[in-house]
């Protein structure tokens, strides 16, 4: 008798190899490869127009790929989109809600569409509306809800069928900090139950907080891959001090960092930045050089993102 290995937690649910997609003469994806493992929160990051939404749509067959291999739950979305969609809960970038319908009635309709048995529909909808703090608005028309409430309702819709993968395409864009926190908590809860999440976001703090692993997509290809901590260590270790932008600070930053290989400088919209191995080291270094920073901070995922994708605005910005 053969015994199946019981530990399948690292099995990959999604595998993309050299995926390409062209829209006419626009090559949106030029050979993107990554995998999503069972039980992880996987981040797909990249600048506007990097191809994140296109990749997501390819995963559930809403967009066809031009080339490459895609495997989702062992199925190919080019031929098995229906079976794949049944197991995905998607929070699309735009809400795409029927604004004339009432909240509860609309979710009951979706519950029927995703095959929840009639006897269980009401309880499931109620449970999710409560989880998203929307139960008190069940009778309101969707158009009467605020933007944050509509976004939470899209989460309800995505969670109805108890998906194996929750796909979140910029779930918290435009939301106030309290709503973002609330949604982060729900995503964490979903993850703690062993579910898998695919997240795209432009908020690097969101990615740093939620993602176990992520890739940075740039100009159609994966440019970096790893855990947030690992990427920071690899691309931007240490800490950064920011000096006000001025010619004098620029000249000084160049001069003092030229004299010590542990330190370097760059300029961005925040000002003149001096980078070094640790907060204490940068602080002491600048003090010795007679320079006064306006801010001192550890490197973060935003630094990695800018390092990997560049600090200039692209054609899509």
Ligand X SMILES: Nc1ncnc2c1ncn2[C@@H]1O[C@H](COP(=O)(O)OP(=O)(O)OP(=O)(O)O)[C@@H](O)[C@H]1O
Alpha-carbon span 166 to 235, nearest angstrom: 29
Give least dist CB 24 to ligand X, A: 7
- Which of 49/226 has CB closer to Mg ion? 49
Site for ligand X in 86-105 (CB under 6 A): 93
228 touches which of ligand X, Mg ion, none (CB within 5 to 8 A by kind)?
none
Q: Which of 119, 114, 178, 42 is nearest to 106 (CA)?
A: 114
49 touches which of Mg ion, ligand X, none (CB within 5 to 8 A by kind)?
ligand X
Instruction: Confirm or reject binding of residue 52 to ligand X (CB under 6 A).
Output: yes
DSSP state of 50: S
34, 54, 216, 309: which one contacts ligand X (CB under 6 A)?
A: 54
Count H helices and E strands in the chain, helices first. 11, 13
Secondary structure class of 275 (helix, strand, coil): strand
- Which of 169/276 has CB closer to Mg ion? 169
User: Which pair of structure tokens corresponds to residue 166?
Assistant: 């929750």
Please give the angle made by the CA atoms of 169, 236 and 240, to the nearest 5 degrees: 105
14, 19, 36, 50: which one contacts ligand X (CB under 6 A)?
A: 50
50 touches which of ligand X, Mg ion, none (CB within 5 to 8 A by kind)?
ligand X
Give least dist CB 149 to ligand X, A: 22
Beta strands per DSSP E along the chain: 12-23, 26-37, 41-45, 67-72, 88-91, 165-169, 196-200, 213-218, 221-226, 239-243, 264-268, 271-276, 295-298
- Encoded one letter per residue, x for contact with Mg ion by CB under 5 A and - for no contact, window 43-82 reads ---------xx-----------------------------
Give 240's strand partners.
275, 297
Give least dist CB 141 to Mg ion, A: 28
Alpha-carbon span 36 to 280, nearest angstrom: 38
Instruction: Confirm or reject binding of residue 31 to ligand X (CB under 6 A).
Output: no
Instruction: Confirm or reject binding of residue 215 to ligand X (CB under 6 A).
Output: no
Give least dist CB 109 to ligand X, A: 27
13 touches which of ligand X, Mg ion, none (CB within 5 to 8 A by kind)?
none
Alpha-carbon span 273 to 293, nearest angstrom: 9
Give least dist CB 302 to ligand X, A: 15
Alpha-carbon span 302 to 204, nearest angstrom: 6
13, 20, 36, 53: which one contacts ligand X (CB under 6 A)?
A: 53
13, 19, 28, 45: which one contacts ligand X (CB under 6 A)?
A: 28
Asked if 238 and 230 count as a contact pair (C-beta separation under 8 A), the reply is no
Give least dist CB 114 to Mg ion, A: 24
Strands in 239-243's sheet, in edge-to-edge order, are: 264-268, 271-276, 239-243, 295-298
9, 11, 17, 23: which one contacts ligand X (CB under 6 A)?
A: 23
Alpha-carbon span 180 to 174, nearest angstrom: 9
Give least dist CB 48 to ligand X, A: 4
Residues that bind ligand X (CB under 6 A): 23, 26, 28, 46, 48-54, 93, 316
User: What residues make contact with Mg ion under the rule CB under 5 A?
Assistant: 52-53, 93
């Amino acid at each position: 008798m053969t015994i199946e290995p019981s530990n399948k937690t690292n099995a990959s649910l999604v595998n993309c190899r050299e995926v390409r997609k062209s829209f006419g003469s626009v090559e949106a994806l030029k050979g993107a490869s990554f995998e999503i493992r069972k039980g992880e929160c996987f981040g797909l990051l990249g600048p506007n127009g990097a191809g994140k939404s296109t990749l997501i749509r390819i995963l559930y067959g809403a967009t066809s790929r031009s080339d490459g291999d895609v495997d989702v739950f062992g199925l190919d979305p080019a031929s098995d989109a229906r079976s794949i969609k049944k197991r995905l809960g998607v929070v699309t970038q735009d809400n795409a809600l029927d604004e004339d319908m009432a909240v509860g009635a609309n979710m009951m309709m979706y519950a029927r569409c995703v095959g929840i048995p009639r006897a269980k529909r009401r309880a499931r909808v109620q449970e999710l509306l409560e989880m998203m703090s929307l139960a008190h608005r069940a009778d309101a028309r969707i158009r009467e809800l605020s933007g944050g409430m509509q976004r939470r309702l899209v989460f309800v819709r995505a969670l109805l069928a108890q998906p194996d993968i929750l796909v979140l395409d910029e779930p918290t864009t435009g939301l106030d900090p309290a709503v973002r926190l609330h949604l982060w908590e729900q995503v964490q809860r979903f993850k703690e139950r062993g579910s898998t999440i695919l997240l795209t976001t432009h908020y690097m703090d969101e990615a740093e907080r939620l993602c176990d692993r992520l890739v940075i997509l740039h100009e159609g290809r994966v440019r970096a891959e790893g855990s947030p901590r690992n990427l920071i260590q690899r691309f931007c270790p240490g800490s950064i001090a920011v000096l006000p932008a001025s010619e004098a600070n620029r000249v000084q930053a160049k001069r003092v960092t030229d004299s010590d290989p542990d330190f370097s400088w760059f300029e961005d919209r925040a000002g003149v930045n001096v980078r070094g191995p640790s907060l204490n080291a940068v602080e002491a270094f600048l003090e010795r050089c007679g320079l006064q920073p306006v801010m001192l901070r550890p490197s973060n995922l935003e630094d990695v993102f800018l390092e990997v994708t560049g600090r200039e605005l692209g054609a899509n910005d």
